[in-house]
Amino acid sequence: MEEHLITAVAIDEKEVKVTVLDVPDKPGVAAKIFAGIAQRNINVDMIIQNISHRKPKTENRKPKTDLSFTIQKEDLEKTLKEIKKIADKIGAKGVNYDEDIAKVSVIGVGMRSHSGVAARVFSALAEQKINIGMISTSEIKISCVVKKNDGRKAVRAIHKKFKLGR
């Protein structure tokens, strides 16, 4: 069963991580952000919203969060143009981006029925001192965003951990 657990490890070095900073943490804000991006025909891949990092102490201090997502590099210019307008409208602090990333994905239909796959992926990366910037999972895939110069090393580490390619 081990050989059928993971069927592929893939790398995408053409993505960019965009982060909207200090987004008001309230219903409907994420919908506004992604509706604006969708209207520009920009495909979003991974999305991560952090837990609120400010507890409201008064009515004037509302909770805020950071919201990060990945897009293809070719869409960066039009994404930034749109997301900066949206950030202003919703009262976010600003926008930053990171082009120095790679998305490493572990694919396999057996992952859902086997516990510990994510732990083994993360362990493989940790053993190589590779920091994970974002994580996304589905029934058949675990994707991690890492620094671009760690991307290929991450692929090799996962291959070794799962004894792939032998």
Amino acid letter, residue 77: E
The answer to whether 165 and 8 are in contact (CB under 8 A) is no
What is the separation, in whole angstroms, between the first and last Cα of the chain?
A: 15
Tokens 């999972």 — which residue?
137
147, β-bridge pairs: 101
How far apart, in whole angstroms, are the C-alpha atoms of residue 159 and residue 154?
Answer: 9
Q: Tokens in use for 31?
A: 């919908």
The answer to whether 142 and 106 are in contact (CB under 8 A) is yes
- pLDDT score at 106: 95
Name the pTM for this structure: 0.88
pLDDT digits (tens, 9 = 90+) for 4-43: 678 899 999 999 999 999 999 899 999 999 999 999 999 9
How far apart, in whole angstroms, are the C-alpha atoms of residue 83 and residue 164?
Answer: 40
- In order of their start, the domains of the chain are 2-13+100-161 (3.30.70.260), 15-98 (3.30.70.260)
- pLDDT score at 1: 38
> Measured between alpha carbons, how far is residue 77 from residues 37, 50, 82, 97, 127 in Å?
12, 24, 9, 11, 36
47, β-bridge pairs: 69
Amino acid letter, residue 113: S
Q: Which residues of the chain have pLDDT under 50?
A: 1-2, 59
